[in-house]
Structure 1
Amino acid sequence: MKIARTFVLSALALTALAAAPAAAQGNDAGTFRVFVEDREVGTEEFSITQTGSGASGEVLATSRVRLGLPDGTLELDTRLRARGIGADPVDYQVSVGGSAPSRTIGTVGGGRFSAKIVTPSGEQLREYVASNGAVVLDQAVAHHYHFLALRTHQGRVPVIIPRENRQVVATVASRGEETVRIGGASATLFHLVVTPQGGDEHHVWVDALNRVVRVEVPARAWRAERTEIPR
């Protein structure tokens, strides 16, 4: 699933304009059921683990995505390491299975995202701007929105899309609190609308700890929903 259409970032590095909500990151784990046009196509199993706190704290987020889409299967294994109070990305790895396997190994530093892309035909190196305050949002990976929600519920955020080898800027707008029902239980969640410049709206529901419960892209009839509301 593409998060946004092609967009060329200006030479000026952009920073997030709004402060992050008060709730800090923490441990989380679970499973998202993924739907396309209301048909279940697979799952995303994920884990977010925090060690330490403050400037020396680190967060490790991993996931296993297995989807049977109309145009073929999508298999992703991801690993994101972040650091500090704002959970700034430090490095990211994603392995893609199926008929076109690849592996991307990237690091963030010095205002750049530097990646090595390994495919059966060889290796390629890519490097592009990674603005201050940027977050990683890989395609079809729902739990990554946790890090965006940590950054802000209202404002603009630079977004790194690793498998597209680029950064875009997304606008985040809050629609306030809503009651969401999942698996026979209901909870009051924050509804965020994330719009990458030139791209489709992504609707994201998070709880008071910024744990992601649901992500929807109406223009693509795509939805990822937790199997149960986190407690």
Structure 2
Amino acid sequence: MKILTRLALPLALFALAAPVAAQGSDSGTFRVFVDGREVGTEEFTITQTGTGTAQEVTASGRVRVRLPEGTLELDPRLRSRGIASDPVDYQVEVGGSSPSKIVGTVNGGRFSAKIVTPAGEQLREYVASSGAVVLDEGVAHHYSFLAQRTHNGRVPVIVPRENRQVMATVTSRGEESVTVNGTSAMLFHLVVQPAGGAEHHVWVDALNRVVRVEVPSRSYRAERTTVPR
């Protein structure tokens, strides 16, 4: 019995530290900062229906920020399917100073997208590797899907508005105490390094819900208004 007890404890701790299989549901608001100044918000909702291979997760958001080069408005919607929450389709409406719309699907190892701008329509298609996740620039809640994949490893990342896929390395720095709007919480600190890109820092809770995202090279920070319960 003592041996079983000693074995059970580290296994339980490992279960808490490892990414969970189910995406689950989440919603909230991020405050967005650039150069330490609050410039807008990101509202989002993640909804799960079904279980196992029939599971579907829909993530939708609304980003409104004011930048020196102009306003940026993003309305993304991502749908994924299956135990691993593999992306199925993604669309984003871009408003503000440079309006456009991207409607894309993932099928047969390819990401096929239609891009609509005031100048007309374009079609783009590129590789979408097995296990890829969608991370659109400036959309913090997408990192929840990355955290579901791994806390340590390499992950293919689809960047829709850049019309490409890159490989990213994810490294865990373990748990840290983080204060969010006056509330302290123990969160997992992940460092995401896209090949040839800027380092991203992401803090998630034990359910892989994103609480904070920072891109130091761009002086960007998105932080939840409240710690999820």
Q: Same-fold call, TM > 0.5?
A: yes
- Kindly report which structure 2 residues correspond to 1:91-106, keeping only aligned pairs within 5 A, or say none: 91-106=89-104
* Aligned equivalent of 1:214: 212
Of structures 1 and 2, the larger Rg is shown by 2
* Aligned equivalent of 1:168: 166
Specify the SS of the correspondent of 2:165: strand
Q: Which amino acid aligns with 2:148?
A: L
Structure 2 counterpart of 1:225, from 188, 206, 223: 223
Q: Give the alignment's Cα RMSD to 1 decimal.
A: 0.9
| Structure with more helix by fraction | 2
CA shift for structure 1 position 24: 2.3
CA offset digits 1:118-143 (Å, max 9, x no partner): 11221110000000000000010000
Q: Which amino acid aligns with 1:133?
A: G
Q: Which amino acid aligns with 2:207?
A: L
* Aligned equivalent of 2:67: 69
Q: Which amino acid aligns with 1:41?
A: V
- 4+ residue stretches of structure 1 with deviation over 6 A? none
* Aligned equivalent of 2:11: none
Provide the rounded CA distance (Å) in 1 between the counterparts of 2:25 and 2:53. Answer: 17
Specify the SS of the correspondent of 2:96: coil
Q: Which amino acid aligns with 1:184?
A: G
CA shift for structure 1 position 219: 1.1
* Aligned equivalent of 2:195: 197
Structure 1 counterpart of 2:25, from 2, 24, 27: 27
**In the alignment, is the contact (CA less than 8 A) between 2:21 and 2:83 conserved in 1?**
no
CA shift for structure 1 position 191: 0.3
* Aligned equivalent of 1:140: 138
CA shift for structure 1 position 198: 1.1
CA offset digits 1:181-224 (Å, max 9, x no partner): 11111110000000001111100000000000000011111100
**In the alignment, is the contact (CA less than 8 A) between 1:28 and 1:48 conserved in 2?**
yes
Aligned residues between the structures: 212
- Kindly report which structure 2 residues correspond to 1:30-69, keeping only aligned pairs within 5 A, or say none: 30-69=28-67
Structure 2 residue 113 is the aligned partner of structure 1 residue 115 = yes
Identity of aligned residues (%): 76
| TM-score (normalizing by structure 2) | 0.91
**In the alignment, is the contact (CA less than 8 A) between 1:23 and 1:209 conserved in 2?**
no
* Aligned equivalent of 1:187: 185
**In the alignment, is the contact (CA less than 8 A) between 2:19 and 2:207 conserved in 1?**
no
Which sections of structure 2, spanning at least 5 residues, go unmatched? 1-17
**In the alignment, is the contact (CA less than 8 A) between 2:127 and 2:165 conserved in 1?**
yes
